[in-house]
Amino acid sequence: MELAYYSDYAVRLVNTEEPTREKDSLTSVEVIKDLFGSASQMARRVTEADLSRFRSVRARLRAVFTAADEGDHTTAVDLLNSLLLEFPVSPQISGHDILDEQGRPRWHMHLADHASNATAGYAAISAMGLAFHLTEFGADRLGLCQAPPCRNAYLDTSTNRSRRYCSDRCATRANVAAYRARKRLEATGRTAENSQEASTPTDR
């Protein structure tokens, strides 16, 4: 499994909350299990106690995205380093489950899970995946959606570092809002011109 894959774990967890809308979907053990995706072995260890722990890790991961989005890359790295220290991982070479055309293993790095609980395991792979993405592509590739009121986290993988929204839906919504704002401004300008012309006395 590629290390970059693990960065999606951080995004998925952060986006279970919409602070500006006061919405939180992290409300049950089943929701947490769904966050693990294909990592079913780790998900089996989830208990009710993980709910509060997951919310704590989520807040810390969001703080990393917030700092990076605001251009404070040093703080983003410091926050991420604190997570890496608290939730260490054990990298291992794997390949038995992925074979090439000749039936030989395709060796790749895998993050082994030896954590004491589900939260620690999830936090470890999330932090490591995010760290890999940051060091490989840059801290400015971590962002928060610019379409109000959405503030979902995203990882910018565009070739020209141009991503500003978490999804096509938010991008479309932002473009429509900008278009309508321009039209309102133009209409206001035309109204002001007409009013000025009407109030200007004409020569007789």
Angstrom distance (rounded) from CA 80 to CA 68: 11
Angstrom distance (rounded) from CA 49 to CA 74: 32
> Based on the number of CB atoms within 10 Å of its own CB, is 117 exposed (0-12), middle (13-18) or buried (19 or more)?
middle
pLDDT of residue 187: 66
DSSP 18: E
Tens place of pLDDT for every residue, the chain, 204 residues?
A: 456 678 999 999 999 999 988 999 999 999 999 999 866 678 889 999 999 999 999 999 999 999 999 999 999 999 999 999 999 987 778 776 677 788 788 787 777 666 789 999 999 999 999 999 999 999 999 999 999 899 999 999 888 888 899 998 999 988 886 667 777 776 676 665 666 666 665 554
CA distances (Å), 26 to each of 30, 104, 130, 145, 148, in order? 9, 41, 21, 20, 22
Q: How many CA atoms lie within 13 A of 10 on its CB side?
A: 32
* pTM score: 0.81
Amino acid at 153: A
pLDDT of residue 1: 44
Planar angle of CA 151, 128, 98, nearest 5 degrees: 110
Amino acid at 61: L
Three-class secondary structure of residue 38 per DSSP: coil
Q: Are 9 and 35 in contact (CB under 8 A)?
A: yes
In angstroms and rounded to an integer, the radius of gyration of the C-alpha atoms of the chain is 23
